[in-house]
Amino acid sequence: MIQEPGADNGLYRRLILLALPIMAANLLQTLYNLADTFFLGRLGKEAVSAPSIAFNMIFFLVVFGTGFSSAGTTLISQAKGRGMIRRWISMSGRPSVSCCWSRR
């Protein structure tokens, strides 16, 4: 069935429904950070700066973890799509490590 270029078939509604939980989570995280800063501000400058420094280190680790996970998911999908069942099964158990062996 060929669709008209302007027909969205409820795409925007589905995108909004998908985005609402993400927006709610971001709002809650922001409120948490505001409350955290408020109470740490009562303790002094050093108390407010400590989470800021720690967040950078944690964010650095999260970025690498997300990158390895995304790469592993891509490799698993490619192996499954090519019908390489053994490789797909072996990589499914270790997506963060499998991206390191992608040059085989």
The pTM score is 0.48
CA–CA separation, 32 vs 22, rounded Å?
Answer: 15
Domain that holds residue 88: 55-104
CA–CA separation, 89 vs 67, rounded Å?
Answer: 21
DSSP codes of every residue in 49-76: HHHHHHHHHHHHHHHHHHHHHHHHHHHH
The string of pLDDT tens digits covering residues 29-82 is 899 989 988 998 899 888 888 887 888 888 888 888 888 877 778 888 888 888
CA–CA separation, 84 vs 91, rounded Å?
Answer: 11
Same domain assignment for residues 96 and 67: yes
Q: Is residue 84 part of a domain?
A: yes
User: What's the domain count of the chain?
Assistant: 2
Give the tokens for residue 87.
């490789």
